[in-house]
Amino acid sequence: MEVLALLLFVSILILILYGYPVSFTLGGISILYALCFLDPSSFSALPFRILGVMNNYVLIAVPLFIFMGIMLEKSGLAESLLETMAMLFGTVPGGLAVSVVIVGALLAASTGIVGATVVTMGLISLPTMLKRGYKPELATGTIASAGTLGQIIPPSVVLVLLGSVLNVPVGDLFKAALLPGVLLVLVYITYIIYQAVRNPESAPSISREEVRAFLGQRNVFLKILLVFFLPLLLIVAVLGSIFAGIATPTEAAGIGAFGAIILTISQRRFNLRVLQSVMRETTHLTCMVFIILLGATTFSFVFKEMGGDEYLVSLIKDSELSPMLFLILVMLVIFVAGFFIDFIEIIFIIVPVVAPIFVEYNMNLVWIGILIALNLQTSFLSPPFGFSLFYLKGVAPPQVTTQHLYRGIIPFVIIQLIFLFAVIFFPKLVFIL
């Protein structure tokens, strides 16, 4: 029976890789295995498990954060931010690329949705960077890596889902992710400046005359203040209310959704058509997440009923793998899986299977959650199947080839892998806050 539980896990992974719908594969194959190998009376507990998921108060944050991110995408704030930041950092080596990373971080802290951030940044900044003489490799690598910061910088939908699966407080995950997220942004910026100094032709600076002309505009300092103040106010309202203990992550998500509407109104972009579009996209993404979650709940239930979790724990313990070696093995599996399947499937399929073993090893699940989020972010970028690369290629000008994307992203993937191992061997980076 225990071996059949592992066969269920492998069967689902193979079918998903073949392209079958994730949610129906998870639920359907699990039900088939249960009908064949379990006592029919065990099914009586499944509806209560599903209702338990649907009644999970924390998961209400998912549609609210998605709504917030899509509404901010429609507000046009990203364009204003990038234009202003590019001029402020214009004379710094690689200043435009540095501004892309900072705006990517601000959007990540405001939205938490990777696809929306990568597409928005690609549409706005890639043509500008190419026009100003940036090498396509550096431009695409910067945009794709900055766009995936939403995986780790709170409020991240990834962290909300991981909190639910690992059964740890989402607020603790947000606090733990903040410092690694900020440090990763600083490492990106350092690399870009190094590249620009070493090879100035790859990242030309904006002329001083152009910067002076921008700063000489009427009410320019008020414009700069508003451009920075509005998204920062939203970030402080959402994260500050969580960290101060004033609001739960779900309540803070409600604040964020309302704040995103106010920001869109302030940019004079809000109307009924925009609201309908945002609500439609939010409903679509939320339904996708929750239908996968229901399939994953069914899989998790059947896997445990067949004794798969206990068998896996005993198998790992009998193999005498050290906790660190097991952790690295899991990180490798998640990294490779990220080439082929989306982060939602990884969180709902792989994480519930390995979580009991981490508990058995007495490893801190908040730390594990941050490592998984960093790993998923890395796999989002990795050729040949990195989802961020597909998003960016879809909006890139015709002269930007797939080879440009692959060559450009490799240094950032290496940076992230080094950073991931740094967090593995220096856990204090997670627990300082």
The pLDDT tens digits of the residues spanning 357-380 come to 898 889 999 999 999 999 988 877
Single out the residue of 45, 12, 36 nearest to residue 26, CA to CA.
12
Residue 244, number of CB atoms within 10 A of its CB: 8
More reliable by pLDDT, 109 or 40: 40
Q: Are 256 and 160 in contact (CB under 8 A)?
A: no
Q: Are 157 and 65 in contact (CB under 8 A)?
A: yes
User: CA-CA distance, 198 to 193, in Å (whole number)?
Assistant: 8
DSSP annotation of 247 reads: S
Residue 99's identity, in one-letter code, is S
322 within some domain: yes
Least confident of 39-43, 113-117, 209-213, 269-273: 113-117
* Domain carrying residue 7: 2-37+56-431
365 within some domain: yes
Residue 181, number of CB atoms within 10 A of its CB: 24
Is the predicted pLDDT of residue 231 greater than 90, yes or no? no
Residue 84's identity, in one-letter code, is T
With 0-12 / 13-18 / 19 or more C-beta atoms within 10 angstroms meaning exposed / middle / buried, residue 294 is middle
Q: Are 382 and 148 in contact (CB under 8 A)?
A: no
207 within some domain: yes
Q: What pLDDT score was predicted for residue 110? A: 64
Give the tokens for residue 259: 């704040």
Give the tokens for residue 98: 């540095």
Residue 250's identity, in one-letter code, is T
97 within some domain: yes
Give the tokens for residue 184: 């990763």
Query: Model pTM?
Result: 0.79
DSSP annotation of 40 reads: G
Give the pLDDT band of residue 385 (cuts 50, 70, 90).
low
Single out the residue of 2, 412, 396, 339 nearest to residue 187, CA to CA.
412
The Cα-based distances of 214 to 3, 93, 210, 266, 310 in angstroms read: 67, 18, 6, 22, 64
What domain count does the chain have?
1
What residues have CB less than 8 Å from 283, skipping those under 6 apart? 63
Single out the residue of 271, 362, 408, 300 nearest to residue 45, CA to CA.
300
Residue 247, number of CB atoms within 10 A of its CB: 18
Task: Return mean pLDDT, the chain.
Answer: 83
Q: Are 121 and 143 in contact (CB under 8 A)?
A: yes
Average pLDDT over residues 89-118: 76
46 within some domain: no
Is the predicted pLDDT of residue 202 greater than 70, yes or no? yes
Give the pLDDT band of residue 112 (cuts 50, 70, 90).
low
Strands annotated E in 291-374: none
Q: What pLDDT score was predicted for residue 190? A: 93
